[in-house]
Structure 1
Amino acid sequence: MAAASPLRELEGEVLCSICLDYLRDPVAVDCGHVFCHHCIIRLCECTRQPLHCSLCKAIFKKENIRHVWQMASLVENIWRMKVDEERAPREDRPLEQNAEKLCGLHLEKLHYYCKDDQQILCVMCRESREHRHHAAVLLEKAAQPFRGKILNHLKSLKGDRDRIEKFQSTGEDELEALLTKFQNHRQDIVSVFEQGHQFLREREQCLLELLEGIEQELAEGRNSYVTKGSEEVLRLGTLISELEKKSQQPAIELLQVPFLCVCLNFFHEYPRKKFWIEKPISAAVKKRAEEFADKLLSLEKGIRGFNGKLRRDLEYKTSEIILNSQTANGYLSVSPNGKSMIFTGLWTNKYQQGQRFDPEPGVLGSKGFTWGKVYWEVKVDRIWWGAEEEEAAMKYWGGARGVFGTSDLGGLMGTTDGYRNENEELEEWPQENGIWPKFCLVGVARESVVRRGFLNFSPEEGFWTLQLCSAGVCIGTSPEPFQILSYCPRQIGVALDYDGGKVTFTNARTQEFIYEFSSSFSGRIFPFLWLNCMRSRLTLRP
């Protein structure tokens, strides 16, 4: 930056330290410093305490203030020199001065700011009649408050910028770390699936080799069987031809002693029904074939369970379900933690609420779903009634219509002395006169379902449920439910895909598929349980 001109240095010596402007009617105080007359008089009028110089803080007296006429002449000469410099040709001025803005009226440099009119003035404008008596200050002094505000705002903006840069840097680090982590996950996925593929290929090769061995034994046995059978047929055919020829000989020859001895020896050597016969498949091969069939069944069951578990874990979020006791029927007792319920058979004095099921022994979950894929499980503790309790309940509730007379579930109150073991899955459960044993319902329901009166538990009415009983599992459809399993799993998995419109039921212990509803959901969907069996419990998991 160019050094200040001598005129600028002199200009700094003739400025009042109070108003920061050119000295007007300069006066000196006791310490010798010079101020504008009107500035020092105004200071004296505003202060009753001892007067102090604004520069050196020395005490002075008002009566000792004196005019400095020589300073007034010097100020005037410096002011005129500045005006002459401002009026000099533009090409003779420094480049930095040529770039300065000039007064549009007098073509003079702008030095002052009029507070009254909020205008920027040159020296001549300030001395004009229009602005002479206005409060005018140097531009730098007038700009200080605005510059301070700008600097404060600038400081705030710089702080925000620094925080954003720091936040961005931290976020980039987190994203980079997460990206690296997921790149590693890619390698983990490839590695895990490769191990799984390798394991399945080995098991596949093992089963194929075992199958090939059994096929080879069967082929060899078939060839041997065919060869032996053909040889025996040929031998018997030869004997048959000989006997046919002998049977056609005259009676006198047949009765002769030599020929009669030959025939008797032939019948003795080949008695009736003494011919070659053996089983086509040996006991050892048959046993190996049965063992191989069992391995295939285990493979199919394992693959179904693996597919079900993997799909559940990867696609569905396991949700913790809690029962809403406000919706529970009066015959149901919900545990304090909301995870299980039992059918008491005794009506409790509960306040009647519009959201409670009555008289159906049902209850909803406390959390509904409007999107996503969720999964939960229901454990069925099946401690069924004994025969005497069953008979007493049948008399009390009205017989074969059912405990609550539900239209599509009526007549499902058969008797049983227990529930079947899961090892008896393929056996037919005994039924008397076509009457089903009692049961429970597991599934989901629409929030808007009717909760008063006897209900039809079907998808058309907003219920997507499995009906579980000791006789098996059936689906509630109109006009009558139909059976899909002849056994009752101890633990049911319920998978709700709201967006896909599916409710899938599986055996939670084996991950085997049971049934799937396809529908279009609207509104909130809640977990739903229904139980009318004494001494039985439904428990939610997890």
Structure 2
Amino acid sequence: MAAALPLRNLEDEVLCSICLDYLKEPVTIDCGHVFCYSCIIKVCECSGQPLYCSLCKTAFKKENIRHVWQMASLVENIWRMKIDQDRQPREDRPPEKRTEKLCGRHLEKLHYYCKDDQQILCVMCRESPEHKHHAAVLLEKAAKPYRGKILNHLKILKADRDRIQNFQSTREDEIQTLLTELQNHRQSIVSVFEQGHQFLREKEQYLLDLLVGLEQELIEGRSSHSTRGSEEVVRLGTLISELEKKVRQPALELLQDTSDIISRYPRKKFWIEKPIISPAVKKRAEEFSDKILILEKGLRGFHGKLTRDLEYKTMRVILNAQTANGYLLVSPDGKSVILTDLWMNRCQHWQQFDPEPGVLGSQGFTWGKVCWEVKVDRIWWREEEEEEVAKHRGAVFGGVLGITDAHSSGFRNESEELEEQWAQEDGMWSKFCLVVGVARESVERRGSLTFTPEEGFWTLQLSSAGVWIRTGPEPFQVLSYCPRQIGIALDYDGGKVTFTNARTQEFIYEFSSSFTGRIFPFLLVNCMRSRLTLKP
């Protein structure tokens, strides 16, 4: 270690300040500084007159350049000392030398890079015959363009990293915001349901208190009537015993007291002829029964509406006029359909139902839970509308005729009477004149149709007498009246079609099946006095 430091100092003294390598053929100039002969000649050839020393800037003349042979001998000796030191065992070398990479051939430090052979060279390799005439530059100069390429690529990679980090940060903020929002939703759900539970508990307690009050009145009344009855039975038993003794007396004793025996032993009109339960209590009990019916109906409606609104997506269904039977008139907005006595389409389309007056929706479903409603109206045409239709007989439907609002010219709604009254009107509808539900896209559209799941139909069949469904050869009735508004809920993945009374949320019927292909809304109108309207 002590010997390495003086050698390093001597090595610094024999380096050329131009090529930064050991002096080769050392020469001196007018100022006394020493350079490699080849290096100073290159300076002289590249520079103009006068010439200046690269170290002290003193002017010199080319003809005054002299060789310093003693310096050449000194450089050689120092170089040999360095080789001997490098050949020492690795564990005996200084720590800073152990990590240096040396030329495997000459054990010299690597200073140059041969561009021709793309090899790293030491001083001796550079002067060797195989590299002497090659373009060799210092390692730092050779590494500069590669370092530049690396820096440029590094810049690109850092930019990519920054973009990714910004993207992650942005997405993390979005996710955190959404998580916070969901947490707020969680708290809202808990709060809303707690309020709902509290409301239901209060109403439950209210009804139970009413029930307890009625029971208490009935129990107290029963106890009072029982007590009074027992007392009257005892009194009557006493009177009966006295009269039985009286009737057994001899005639002499009996006739000694001829006063009115009946008046002496009166018969009291007992309360048994009066109602045991007071009319007020009976009325309250009947009102309580009505409250229970209202509770059950309200809970069914609440359950159905909440299930539909939370689990199902309400769809805006539009009818596909190209699938409509030629006698059907679809409104311009695709929301309503009626049956006419005129053929509305000039040419028959391959998608049409014929002869059945059916029509499909324009959008089919292959996944998810969706719902919509169908409003059922009974209408009639006025004479001027019939004349207007006659003018367009045989024309292709393209918005010339339209379905107007229920209160506009052309159609008239029935008043908002109870739905059950529909069934009481005779001769208004034919049997199964309306069909609502869903159908598979591939259903048969020519000839008579059988509205069964096997044929690809999941529907309700409506008439003035009620609602029927068909799962086999014969239909069977599920309602004794026809609802004014029917809710249809399709759960494609769950294989269910559920029908409800959309006004009361009363359950009507549910089909369970396994769907394949696209499922479309389906309507059929086979009655001149009816109209079906999709909602919303």
TM-score class, shorter: 0.7 to 0.9
From 418, 426, 430, give the equivalent of 1:423. 418
The correspondence of residues 208-357 of structure 1 with structure 2, limited to 5 A, is 208-228=208-228, 262=260, 276-349=272-345, 351-357=347-353
Given that 1:384 and 1:533 are in contact with CA atoms closer than 8 Å, whether structure 2 keeps it comes out as no
Shift of 1:295: 0.9
Q: Per-residue deviation at 1:202?
A: 1.1
Alignment-mate amino acid for residue 303 of structure 2: N
Give the whole-Å Cα distance in 2 for the aligned partners of 1:420 and 1:239: 69
2:507 to 490, 510, 513: 513
Query: How far is 1:73 from its partner?
Result: 8.4
Go from structure 1 to structure 2 and tell me whether the alpha carbon gap of 1:436 and 1:109 turns closer, same or farther (over 3 Å shift).
same
- C-alpha distance in structure 2 between counterparts of 1:439 and 1:445, whole Å: 17
- Contact 2:102–2:110 under 8 Å retained in 1: yes
Q: 2-side partners of 1:229 and 1:23: how far apart? A: 146
Amino acid at match of 1:533: C
SS at match of 2:446: coil
The alignment status of 1:478 with 2:482, answered yes or no, reads no
1:277 is matched by which residue type in structure 2? E
**Residues in 1 aligned to 2:69 and 2:338: alpha-carbon distance in whole angstroms:** 112
Match of 1:494 in 2: 488
Match of 1:13 in 2: 17
- 8 A Cα contact 1:317 1:374, kept in partner: yes
**1:223 Cα deviation from its structure 2 partner:** 3.3
User: Counterparts in 2 of 1:92-491, with a 5 A limit?
Assistant: 95-228=95-228, 262=260, 276-349=272-345, 351-383=347-379, 423=418, 425=420, 429-430=423-424, 436-491=430-485
**How has the CA–CA distance of structure 1 residues 286 and 15 changed in structure 2, closer, same or farther, with 3 Å as cutoff?**
same
Task: Report the AA paired with residue 512 of structure 2.
Answer: S
- Quick one: structure 1 residues 40 and 292, their matched pair in 2 at CA, closer, same or farther if it must change by over 3 Å? same
Conserved 8 A contact 1:446-1:523: yes
Aligned runs of 1:84-95 on 2, under 5 Å?
A: 84=80, 87-90=83-86, 95=95
Secondary structure at the counterpart of residue 217 of structure 2:
helix
The answer on whether the counterparts of 2:357 and 2:524 sit within 8 Å (CA) in structure 1 is: yes
3-state SS of the aligned residue for 2:423? coil
SS class of match (1:380): strand
- SS across alignment from 1:107: coil
For residues 466 and 315 of structure 1, the distance between their equivalents in structure 2, rounded to whole angstroms, comes to 22
Measured at CA, do residues 84 and 421 of structure 1 come closer, stay the same or move farther in structure 2, by a change above 3 Å? same
Contact 2:355 2:446 survives alignment (8 Å) = yes
- In structure 2, relative to structure 1, the CA distance for the partners of 1:367 and 1:246 (3 Å cut) is same
2:395 alignment counterpart: none
Paired with 1:278 and 1:238, the residues of 2 have a C-alpha distance of 24
Q: Under a length normalisation based on structure 2, what TM-score does the superposition of the two structures give? A: 0.74
Q: Does 1:529 align with 2:523?
A: yes
Secondary structure of 1:145's partner?
Answer: helix
> Compared with structure 1, are the counterparts of its residues 432 and 537 closer, same or farther at alpha carbon in structure 2 (3 Å cutoff)?
closer
Q: What is the letter of the counterpart of residue 418 of structure 2?
A: N
| CA positional deviation for 1:379 | 2.1
In 2, Cα distance between equivalents of 1:502 and 1:446: 13
Instruction: Give how far 1:512 is off.
Output: 2.0
Q: Distance in 1 between matches of 2:304 and 2:95?
A: 84
Separation in 2 of the partners of 1:74 and 1:327?
A: 112
1:458 and 1:110 map into 2 onto residues whose CA distance is 92
Cα deviation digits, residues 286-321 of structure 1 (max 9, x gap): 111111111111111111111112222222222232
Task: State the shift of 1:228 in Å.
Answer: 4.9
- Local SS of the residue matching 2:498: strand
Q: Distance in 2 between matches of 1:472 and 1:181?
A: 47
Q: CA deviation at 1:455?
A: 1.0
- TM-score of the superposition, structure 1-length normalised? 0.73
- Measured after TM superposition, the shift of residue 352 of structure 1 is 3.3
CA RMSD of aligned residues (A): 4.7
Q: How far did 1:235 drift?
A: 6.4
Hey, what's the Cα distance between the residues in 1 that align with 2:64 and 2:375?
109
Return closer, same or farther for 1:418/1:539 CA change in 2, 3 Å cut-off: closer
Q: Cα offset for 1:245?
A: 8.6
8 Å CA contact 2:368–2:493 kept in 1: the answer is yes
1:539 aligns with 2:533: yes
Note the C-alpha offset of 1:362: 2.0
Preserved contact between residue 14 and residue 22 of structure 1 (Cα < 8 Å): no
Identity of aligned residues (%): 63
Using the TM superposition, give the Cα deviation of residue 481 of structure 1 relative to its aligned residue in structure 2, in angstroms: 1.4
- Which amino acid is the alignment partner of residue 342 of structure 2? L
Secondary structure, counterpart of 1:89 in structure 2: helix
CA shift in 2, pair 1:511/1:207, >3 Å: same
* Partner secondary structure for residue 523 of structure 1: coil
Partner amino acid, structure 2, of 1:444: V
Residues in 2 aligned to 1:82 and 1:336: alpha-carbon distance in whole angstroms: 105
What is the deviation of 1:66? 6.9
Give aligned pairs, total.
482
Measure the CA separation in 1 of the matches of 2:149 and 2:243: 135
In 2: Cα distance, 1:533 partner to 1:303 partner:
35
Q: 3-state DSSP class of the match of 1:293? A: helix
Matched residue type, 2:343: W
- Is 1:442–1:530's contact at 8 Å kept on the other side of the alignment? yes
Instruction: Name the stretch that deviates more: 302-311 or 141-150.
Output: 141-150
| Deviating more after overlay: 220-229 vs 138-147 | 220-229
Q: Give the deviation of 1:12 after TM superposition.
A: 6.5
Per-residue CA deviations over 1:473-503 (Å, capped at 9, x if unaligned) read 2212322211111222222222111222111
Closer/same/farther in 2, CA of residues 326 and 124 from structure 1, 3 Å limit: farther
Q: Contact 1:23–1:75 (CA<8 Å) still a contact in 2?
A: no
Output the amino acid matched with 2:273.
Answer: I
How far does residue 203 in structure 1 lie from its aligned partner after superposition? 0.9
Q: Match of 1:110, SS?
A: coil
Q: Report the CA distance between 1:525 and its aligned residue.
A: 1.8
Unaligned runs of 5+ in 2: 30-34, 55-60, 383-411
Q: Using the alignment, how far apart are the partners of 1:186 and 1:94 within structure 2?
A: 70
Give the equivalent residue in structure 2 for 1:414: none
